[in-house]
Chain A
Amino acid sequence: MLKCRLTYLFALVGAVLFYIFFNGYLSYYILLFALLLPILSLALSLPGMCCVRAVLQAPAAASRGKPFPVYLQIQNRSHLPAARVRLRMRYQNLFSGEKYAETLFLPGPHGVQRVERRAVALHCGKLSMQLDEIRCYDFMGLFSCRHKRPEGISLFILPDAEALELPLQAAPAPDPESELFSSNRPGSDPSEIFDIRPYREGDLMRSVHWKLSSRMDELMVKEFSLPISNAVLVLFDLFGTTEDLDRTLDHLSSLCYYLLDNQMPHEIMWYDADEIALRSWPIASPDDFLSLMNIVLDKPAPTAGIPAPECRQRLGEAKDVPYLFYVTPQRIEDLSDSTVWEGAI
């Protein structure tokens, strides 16, 4: 409130000059009043100033390019009003490394005031929001008091998935050695129960669930699970410019959700420059993908690196898989048959 202080200083100088040049009680009175007024202002506004609190609230995650709400809650716990509050907010995208700051002047609240703001993040990442400074001013804007800043919050800005059309085999092939089981088809692996149902003609006796049958007075049989093959490997590069990384993650997200929609669990692999190793993450459900994003977006990505397929070759992990996808900012490539999809992206 430099403007307020300068204005007051100017007025005080005027009052002093008036006192010097005007020979009368009025000039003396006005000078005294001009000196008293800031004290009066501080006395009236101090309870309100000291009792203001502010917190930030936001959802846990949002999609890139789509609006999400940010709530700013300011509370005045005293019965007396506060004049004005200055908030310094700091935002930081841990993944892209971008930092933003803003200063807000808000009127002093009476009670609790919740302000909703619509925000749109244009880059993927983990967005941390922090109220760096909460400062309350008196009625004249001359004095201020600073409050302890609250804990910051963070939310993940997830990539934007779009619908894909890829000519892939929908059903995954059975793989007796796999520890992954189909969620919609039964099989013959007794290590995992798929379902329990009433007995039907032709069911094997060894599949009867005798304990349950005795309780239910009807024969119940166990359906065993079908182990399926994790036959899709998706490679992507976790380096590049912010825009490249956004597009890569968008493609990755689109591909993953397409595969999951088509009952195709898969594995995602990338080169982690910090651990100097290829990392992989199995994706069998949307939650697995979100967990992957939590790991990927939580730290800054390098701007340059070695492409994942090349890393895989160099590190000798070139196991044959039915589908091997390589996701780049520009396209999704099926490295197993060198097909490239760009149009659907």
Chain B
Amino acid sequence: MTNLQQGLQIDKPVWKPASRNTLSVLLADVLLLLLGLFGVAQCFVTAFSLPADRLILTASIVLFAGMFIGIFSMKRFILPVLLLLAAVYCGTAYWLRTYFLQGFIITTNRIMSELGSHSRFIFPLYRVDLPRGDYEEACTIFLIFLLFFLSCFLSWAIRRRHSFWLSLAGTAPFLLVPLGFTIMPAWPSVLMLLAFWATLLLSRLSANSSFGRTAAAGKVSLLALPAVILSLLLLNVFVPQEDYVRPPSIESLRTELEAGIYQSPLLNPGSADSELGRTSLSRSGNLQYTGKTVLRVRNPQKTPIYLHAFSSSVYTGTSWEPLPDSAYEELEQALYFNPQNMAGQFFSLYAQPEEREALFMEVEIENIGANKKCIFAPYGLATRPEELSGGAFVNDSYIQSSSLFGSRNYSLQAWNVPGYSRSVSLESDAPFTVSEQAYRSFANTHYTQLPQEIKMKLRWLCEQVGIPNAQSATQSEVVNAVVEYVRSSGTYTLSPGTTPVGRDFVDYFLFENHKGYCVHFASSAVAMLRAQGIPARYAEGYAVTAADYGVDGWADIPDRRSHAWAEVYTPGLGWQPVEATPGVHLSAGQMNEPDNTLESTPSSEPESEAESEPEASSEPEHETENSSSLESEPYSSLPEVTEGSSFHTAAPVLLPIVIAGGCILLLLLRRAFLLWRRKKGFTAPDVNRRALYLYQYLTQLTDFGEPMDKRAEELALKAKFSPHRLSDDEIGYLQNVSDTAGRRAYEGLNALQKLLFKFWKCLI
């Protein structure tokens, strides 16, 4: 009885359920079961080209369907009969064990070889101890045993439960697994399974209610089945397979989505570590590249350029992190331009006409396989934030695409800073000078920070090896000395191993390991420059050498050109790249190749000397000079798309969906089981036992704030310890209380608690 409120109690409606043996229900179940079993069998056999006798399989299916429909139509003795059948099954399997096992091996081998031929995986094959002429017999026997199980499960799912989800769970893998490997079973079998699922779906509501299966449910199935079959056939006629052509727009959408998925941190763990502005050094281990083109770059001037992805500012010992946004508040009023445009501002104010013509360049970038959320920008950027559509300047660190799927094509204007050699005196009161001074002060404050321990250690090292600091030498002298030392401090390799847990990344490289790639050399250079008082930061991106450009001015940049380098703040010109990785010469078109491990020596890189760097200041006598050289040869070290990650199947997208669907299905199965078990307890023949189940339920409700009814507690104690049976009134009271309490507890919860209550605790 349901308590609607305090004043009215009304029973739940009792609907007279149909007998399972009503003709319409029986006929519908038989037809559905046959459809499902034939669909599954044909799917399985045709998908993997199994050598099986179709006639025998057909006869088996009919026999099993009839047998299990009969068994599950019985009112009693179902379990004993099933146990008897199980004994017969085991006995028969033992008697035919040779053919059963060999049939299993043959089937497995066929499946493995089909899967292997449709994927890049290699599946093991097992030896078959039967002459080839007996393969069909063995396979048929094995399939019959398999169909026995499937028939039992499907019969139960359809006849007893009429559950769409259970039936789907039992049949879907036979289609989904081949499809996952782009193996297409025979078309009629696919249609049969679709018809089976669609009919179950259409009859689901009328079959499954709290009132059991009604008489109308069978009629619905009998009505829906021919309608569904007709619809499938008509669809086949009006949209024939031969005339189907996949629209190009869908194909391009697929490509875009795949690229976005592959670059996501979920499938591309490395990229998670290089999330814009952030790099985890502790995971910088061994690298591999595919050689696929990720960027296409057009530069009419065909000069070598660094395409900057992002810069990181804060060194923690195990990672590079961005500065917090709050650190930039002091610059909001001080700067009238973005720091990433500092060189662009300088040139626009002070460049001569002939210099404008010579140094100004427009770079076009086509992002094919790199991170599309990142706008790769050259140094000396002239394009201002308001001129760049689809991109947003993020402080002084990087430019991020603001499009949903990222930016694929864009062009940027920049100045060729290495080509500039004139000195300029800046007016002390000029707005540009004032802003530059403010930013220089900001850079000196924030970009010379290091953890104290490594700072002291690096200062000691610099003192030992004779590297001057900012107080005792010019910036360019310090930079050159640091770069020279870092290049000679280690061996270049793509397999340096990972930094031990708890060790500082730079410390481990400079003082112990001495093996690494661009990330190691760049981080070390930045750390040493900061230790010596030079504002520096860590940068990642791609390196384009002069030799990469083709005749048309386009350069195809592969994934192995991802690179890390140091940046040094050059007054007036902003952040400029400094190459610290040995064997990297952009202008000469030299980059470290994946197979090479170059050992750098102090005298082996004459081109590695950095030229003097320009400096701009508010004092008239200070002059700007050339920026640091781009003579070093970068080597890409950015984590990249791993090898062989692109394939034309739906598996990467289907897999999470299937896993999520599987989890939901398990949850629902669990809920169904718990509810069934509770219902069994609530209707137990032993009244006292029933009372204890009800009390247990009430106890679970107390977790959700529902107070325990005192009388219910007393009755439970009586049921537990008293020799007497509870009366009908007493058990009725307990049932009423549990009904009311459950509903009341549920209604008082918020949405999340309701989900937990219903689907995890299964209390309602």
Contact = CB atoms under 8 A, between A and B. Distances in A.
B216 A41 contact: no
Interface string B235-251: 11001010010100011
B649 A22 contact: yes
B235 A32 contact: yes
A54 to B, nearest CB: 11
B9 A116 contact: no
B404 to A, nearest CB: 16
Given A41-B202, A107-B15, A119-B9, A100 B246 contact: no
Interface in B251-281: 251, 253-254, 257-258
B223 A107 contact: no
Residue among A32, A70, A122, A139 with most chain B CB within 10 A: A139
Contacts of A26: 179, 184, 190
Contact of B648 (A18, A23, A43, A127): A23
Given A40-B228, A72-B13, A106 B209 contact: yes
B657 interface: yes
Interface residues of B, number: 60
Interface string B1-23: 11011111111111110000000
Contacts of B206: 81-84, 107-108, 139
B224 A44 contact: yes
Interface string B171-213: 0000000010010100000100010001001111110011100
Interface in A42-84: 43-44, 70, 72, 80-84
B4 A101 contact: yes
Contacts of A99: 5
Interface string A1-37: 0001000000000100111111111111110110011
Contact of B657 (A14, A40, A100): A14
B414 interface: no
Interface stretch (A90-98, A162-170, A179-187, A288-296): A90-98
A265 interface: no
A83 B649 contact: no
Nearest to B250: A20
Contact of A120 (B8, B217, B254): B8
A17 B422 CA distance: 58
Nearest to B240: A25
Contact of A83 (B7, B14, B205): B205
B144 to A, nearest CB: 28
A139 B207 CA distance: 10
Interface string A132-175: 00000101110000000000000000000000000000000000
A84 B246 CA distance: 39
B216 A81 contact: yes
Contact of B216 (A17, A37, A108, A123): A108
A119 B11 CA distance: 6
A32 B194 CA distance: 12
B46 to A, nearest CB: 14
B671 interface: no
B708 interface: no
B4 A91 contact: yes
B227 interface: yes
Contacts of A101: 4
A299 interface: no
A22 B11 contact: no
B219 A84 contact: no
B654 interface: yes
B491 to A, nearest CB: 44
Contacts of A32: 235, 239
Nearest to B14: A115
A127 B239 CA distance: 60
Nearest to B220: A81
Contacts of B5: 98-100
A312 interface: no
B214 interface: yes
B643 to A, nearest CB: 21
A21 B8 contact: no
A37 B648 CA distance: 28
Nearest to A20: B254
B239 A84 contact: no
Nearest to B228: A40
Contacts of A116: 14
Contacts of A197: none
Contact of B7 (A18, A96, A113): A96
A43 B224 CA distance: 10
B215 interface: yes
Contact of A122 (B8, B11, B13, B244): B8
A22 to B, nearest CB: 5
Q: Among A24, A25, A99, A109, which residue has the most Cβ atoms of chain B within 10 A?
A: A25
Nearest to A137: B205
B764 interface: no
A240 to B, nearest CB: 15
Contacts of A28: 239, 244, 246
A297 to B, nearest CB: 13
Contacts of A33: 194, 198, 231-232, 235
Interface in B365-390: none
A315 interface: no
Given A118-B10, A121-B8, A81 B223 contact: yes
B666 interface: no
Contacts of A279: none
A28 B385 CA distance: 43
Given A44-B223, A139-B204, 7 more contacts: A17-B653, A21-B257, A23-B251, A91-B8, A106-B211, A118-B10, A123-B7
18 contacts: A17-B657, A19-B250, A25-B241, A26-B184, A70-B10, A84-B209, A98-B5, A107-B209, A107-B214, A107-B216, A110-B219, A115-B13, A117-B11, A120-B8, A120-B10, A121-B7, A122-B6, A139-B224
7 cross-chain pairs, A with B, having the tightest CB-CB distances, nearest first: A21-B650, A100-B4, A81-B216, A119-B10, A139-B202, A110-B216, A107-B214
Interface of B: 1-2, 4-16, 179, 182, 184, 190, 194, 198, 201-206, 209-211, 214-217, 219-220, 223-224, 227-228, 231-232, 235-236, 239, 241, 244, 246, 250-251, 253-254, 257-258, 648-650, 653-654, 657
